Amino acid sequence: MSKELNIKLYKKLYLIRRIEEKICEYYPEDEMKTPMHMSMGEEAIVVGVCQALNNHDQIFTTYRSHAAFLAKTQETDYFFAEMYAKDTSPLKGKGGSMHLCSPENGFMGTSAIVAAHIPVAVGCSFANKYQKNNKVVVVFFGDGAVDEGNFWESINLACLMKLPIIFVCEDNGLAVHTHSFQRRGYDSISQIISKFNCRVVESNSTDVEEIYNLSRDAINSSRAEFKPCFMNFKYYRYLEHVGVNYDFDAGYRSKDEFDEWRKKDPVIFQYNKLLSLNVSSIEIKKIEEGINKKIEGSLLKAKKASFSEVGELYRGVL
């Protein structure tokens, strides 16, 4: 177990969690006018997977994109500037929370139409293979996306074309408020995907290092063998589908489930792992303070910046 790696992973987990806590704190001010689909609970998946990627590798994700964006890019200034729709954001407020994009960091975009980004990721992967540039594409999606035709068309295509692409299902068992058992005429998605010509990996771990190890193996072999891989990671969505609040009073799920998952919260789990690796709580606190400072700085900068100019509306349509 590498101490250095685990510190790195903790830093990313903490950054993402703390940023989202800040969003929860500031969102009621109503200055971030963009619907928030929060990542809380899934941090270990994106951090583990993205840690296994090279900088030039490419990812696509969904409207629930905060964690993946931060894990891949670490761009906190960019992130908050876009949440506040400020001129300092490269996106100038055209994307918002649901449509972040940073191609120079390999963050190729998102879709708020469930599964619509999956074939786009497959096309990117095709181009990478054609251009022989050794890049791997990872596409993240929720288990709701598996209900969509686009998912099945895409996995078939990637297997047919033997592409270096990883399909990562962030499986929280919910499509908005509808449980997977209410949507599926089968029991195990992994079992079905295993009939395709691809690798299948399954885990319900919240241990970021374990997810990193699984991902590293999957990504390396996909890169080397031009073979897609499907990874199914279970997690628990802490907050409501959209918004910054808990919704256990809504009746579609129980708080008991949350309490169970909370026991293995990915950030706390990793914190405890650092302690077990003889990183002192003082050292951890120092790391956290550095990150807090960075976040605070990015947030204040974004709040102070001016909005992008109105003429931006017409720019870049064609």
Partner 1 sequence: MRKITYCDALREAMIQEMERDAGVFVYGIGVPDHKAVFGSTRGIAEKFGRSRCFDTPLSEDAMTGFGLGAALNGMRPIHVHIRIDFMLLAFNQIVNMISSYKYSSAGQLKVPMVIRAIIGRGWGQGFQHSKSMYAVFAHIPGLKVVLPTTAYDAKGLLISAIRDDSPVIFIEHRWLYWQEGDVPQEPYTIPLGTGNIIREGQDITIVATSWMNVEATKAADILSKHGISVEIVDPRTISPLNDELIIKSVEKTGHCIVADNDWVFCGLSAEIAARVSAKCFGKLKAPVERIGFAQTPCPTARHLENEFYPNAIKIIRLVEKMLNLDPIDLSKEEFYSHEKKFKGPF
Instruction: Give the interface with partner 1 as residue ranges (CB under 8 A).
Output: 58, 90-92, 94-95, 99, 101-104, 108-109, 111, 113, 116-128, 130-131, 149-150, 153-154, 156-157, 160, 312, 315-318
Q: Pick between residue 130 and residue 181 the one whose CB is nearest to partner 1.
A: 130
**Min dist. Cβ of residue 144 to partner 1 (A):** 15
Q: Pick between residue 13 and residue 70 the one whose CB is nearest to partner 1.
A: 70
SS (H, E, C) the chain: CCHHHHHHHHHHHHHHHHHHHHHHHHHHHCCCCCCCECCCCCHHHHHHHHHCCCCCCEEEEECCCHHHHHHHHCCHHHHHHHHCCECCCCCCCCCCCCCCCEHHHCEEEEECCCCCCHHHHHHHHHHHHHCCCCCCEEEEEEHHHHHCHHHHHHHHHHHHHCCCEEEEEEECCEECCEEHHHCCCCCCHHHHHCCCCCEEEEECCCCHHHHHHHHHHHHHHHHHHCCCEEEEEECCCCCCCCECCCCHHHCCCCHHHHHHHHCCCHHHHHHHHHHHCCCCHHHHHHHHHHHHHHHHHHHHHHHHCCECCHHHHHCCCC
**Min dist. Cβ of residue 44 to partner 1 (A):** 27
**Min dist. Cβ of residue 101 to partner 1 (A):** 4
Q: C-alpha distances in angstroms, 171 versus 89, 128, 203, 235, 308?
A: 31, 27, 10, 6, 36
* Cross-strand partners of 58: 137
Q: Pick between residue 126 and residue 226 the one whose CB is nearest to partner 1.
A: 126
Closest CA to 168 of 53, 8, 259: 53
Q: Pick between residue 32 and residue 124 the one whose CB is nearest to partner 1.
A: 124
Q: C-alpha distances in angstroms, 239 versus 10, 242, 310?
A: 21, 8, 34
**Min dist. Cβ of residue 88 to partner 1 (A):** 12
Q: Pick between residue 1 and residue 317 the one whose CB is nearest to partner 1.
A: 317
Q: Pick between residue 112 and residue 279 the one whose CB is nearest to partner 1.
A: 112
**Min dist. Cβ of residue 126 to partner 1 (A):** 6
What is the pairing mode between strands 165-171 and 58-62?
A: unpaired
**Min dist. Cβ of residue 136 to partner 1 (A):** 13
Q: Pick between residue 160 and residue 300 the one whose CB is nearest to partner 1.
A: 160
**Min dist. Cβ of residue 243 to partner 1 (A):** 22
**Min dist. Cβ of residue 28 to partner 1 (A):** 27
Q: Pick between residue 65 and residue 203 the one whose CB is nearest to partner 1.
A: 65
